[in-house]
Structures are given as C-alpha cells and as structure tokens.
Structure 1
Amino acid sequence: MDVLINVFVALHIIGIASLLGGFLTQMKAMSAGTARFTPAMLHGALTMLITGVALVGLNQADDQSVNNLKVGIKLVILVVILGLVYVKRDEEKIDKPLFGAVGALTTANVFIATLWT
C-alpha cells in the first residue's frame, strides 16, 4: 500500500508543478497584461484534485490518520483555483488580480501542505 500511496504523492506533486509552472511561465505576460490560463494549469489542477482525493482514500484505507480540517481547507482552495482556471480558460487576456490570485492560492496550498503538521 505504501508504494501506491507514494505513486499518488508523486502524481500530486506533478500536478502542483504543472499548475505553478504554468503560472510562473506567464509572469512576464502578466506584467504586460496578456497573461492567460494555459491548458497545463487546468490539467495540473485536475490532477491535484483527483490524486488528492485518492490519497485521502488510500491513507484512510491504510488506517493512517488524516487531518480532515487541513484536507478540507486545501480542497476548498483547489476548487476555487479550478473554478477560476476552468471558467476563464478560453479568454485571451486575464486580469492581473485574477491571475495573481491563482498563483497566490496555489502557493498557499503548497505552504499549507508542507507547513501544517
């Protein structure tokens, strides 16, 4: 079971990398006012959602403790990110505050995951 959990953790990290990497590659475009949500950002957010839910289920099935408050907060943040990216994915230009919010929420999710023990 540990190997399966570790595979899903790796996939979850790949999803985070895709979402945050997509944001970081658009930073120059954001300062020019031409940033847009890339497909990598949408797919990264979806990967995070699917693997995160799977990780909770696998950890509970393995009788490991799960911090439901932490998972719930991370889920709410991810749903907001996913909603913003999904709704605005076809627009040619995204407003700077909205685009910045996705980056800030993604970063907050990373810090919650790593610092909340």
Structure 2
Amino acid sequence: MDVLINVFVALHIIGIASLLGGFLTQMKAMGAGTARFVPAMLHGALTMLVTGVALVGLNQADDQTVNNIKIGVKLAVLVVILALVYVKRDEEKVEKGAFAAVGGLTVANIFIATLWT
C-alpha cells in the first residue's frame, strides 16, 4: 500500500507543478495584461483533485490518520482554483486579479500542505 500511496503523492506533485508552472510561464504576460489560463493549468488542477481524493481514500484504507479539516481547506482552495481556471479557460485575456488569485491560491495550497501539521 505504501508504494501505491507514494505513486499518488508523486502524481499529486506533478499536478501542482503543472498548475504552478503554467502560472509562472504567464507572469510576464500578466504584466502586459495578456495572460491566459493555459491547458496545463486546468490539467494540473484536475490531476491534483483526482490524486488528492485518491490519497485520502488510500490513507484511510491503510488506517492512517487523516486531518479532515486540513483536507477540507485544501479541497475548498482547489475548488476555487478549478472554478476560476475552468470558467476562464477559453478567454484570450484573463483579468490580472483573477490570474493573480489563481497563483496566490496555488501557493497558499502548497504552504497549507507543507506547513499545516
């Protein structure tokens, strides 16, 4: 079970890297007002959602303790990210505020995952 959990953790990290990488590649365009949500951001957020839910299930099946409040907060942040990216994914230009919100929430989600013990 540990190997399976570690595979899903790796996939979860790949998802966050895709979401954050997509944001970082558009930062220069954000300054110019031409930023857009690239497909990698949507796919990364969806990967995080699927692997995160799987990780919670696998950890509970393995009788490990799961901090449900932390998971709930991370899920709520991810749902907001997904909503913003999904709704605005086809627009040629995304407002700076919405784009910055996705980046900030992504970084917040990383810090929640690593610092909340």
Normalising to structure 1: TM-score of the pair? Answer: 1.00
CA distance in 2, matches of 1:108, 1:80: 12
1:74 maps to which residue?
Answer: 74
CA distance in 2, matches of 1:6, 1:66: 16
1:3 maps to which residue?
Answer: 3
2:53 maps to which residue?
Answer: 53
- Deviation, structure 1 residue 69: 0.1
CA distance in 1, matches of 2:39, 2:98: 17
- Deviation, structure 1 residue 47: 0.0
Q: Which consecutive unaligned segments of at least 5 residues does structure 2 have?
A: none
Aligned residues: 117
SS of the residue corresponding to residue 37 of structure 2 reads coil
CA distance in 2, matches of 1:112, 1:94: 26
Equivalent positions of 1:78-117 (< 5 A) are 78-117=78-117
User: What letter corresponds to residue 85 of structure 2 in structure 1?
Assistant: V
Q: Percentage identity across aligned positions?
A: 85
CA distance in 2, matches of 1:48, 1:36: 20
User: What letter corresponds to residue 37 of structure 2 in structure 1?
Assistant: F
Partner deviation per Cα, 1:3-43 (whole Å, 9 max, x = no partner): 00000000000000000000000000000000000000000
1:13 maps to which residue?
Answer: 13
| Deviation >6 Å, runs of 4+ | none
Does 2:27 match 1:27? yes
1:41 maps to which residue?
Answer: 41
Q: Which consecutive unaligned segments of at least 5 residues does structure 1 have?
A: none
RMSD across aligned positions (CA): 0.2
